Amino acid sequence: MTDSHPAPRSSSLVLAQRRTLMAGLAAVALMPLAGCGRKAPRAQAVPTSATVLALGDSLTSGVGASADTAYPAVLARLTGWKVVNAGVSGDTSAQALERLPALLQKHQPALVIVGIGGNDFLRRQSASATRANIRQICADAQSTGAQVLLVAVPELSLLAASTGRLSDHALYEEVASELKIPLHSKGWSGVLADARLRSDQIHANAAGYERFAQGLVETLKDTGLLAR
């Protein structure tokens, strides 16, 4: 006759099973969660005295301040890099994309800082075309072996700037996530929202460019592009 009640498990067997279960749960907890935010691969530190290309428009060229207080000049002083100011006032993303090949060939930069798109927004150009241009700029720079840092630009309008209600356009996060490149966010939106840091509604003054460059340095350090 078979006993209908199973024999009790030994305490040592139960303890071993519990340990195995807890170890498995701990391993799962330590696994990265898919889809929980963008994490760009840690960058390689750019050596001191390396050439860095700052591609952009009037916010890069330094409209509203002198050449030696534009953000690329400030960045050069803070990092020791040779920062080429490739900002052209009024440039759209399409025009920056057109200029890029010659700039890459001439300067052969170790890092390209891409900050473009404000004029596209002001002229109400297609957001999808702007996104495609910026993505192509970043991809073309990467194809030469250069590292790329994308700078987010707010969706500029005179009304938004005058009220101080500026926020980064979503396309920059999208492009950075897609290409797995670092993003400097809230730099220009923070500066241009503060009347004390502006020369006019859509440009920084010397103090604003200094503030932007200082924030950029922190992002460069956080991403590994600049050694601490």
Q: Tell me the catalytic residues.
A: 58, 200, 203
Q: Are 52 and 113 in contact (CB under 8 A)?
A: yes
Alpha carbons 91 and 21: distance in angstroms, whole number: 60
Alpha carbons 86 and 72: distance in angstroms, whole number: 9
**Dihedral sign, CA of 219, 220, 223, 224?**
negative
Q: Are 194 and 215 in contact (CB under 8 A)?
A: no
Alpha carbons 42 and 109: distance in angstroms, whole number: 19
Output DSSP code: residue 41: P
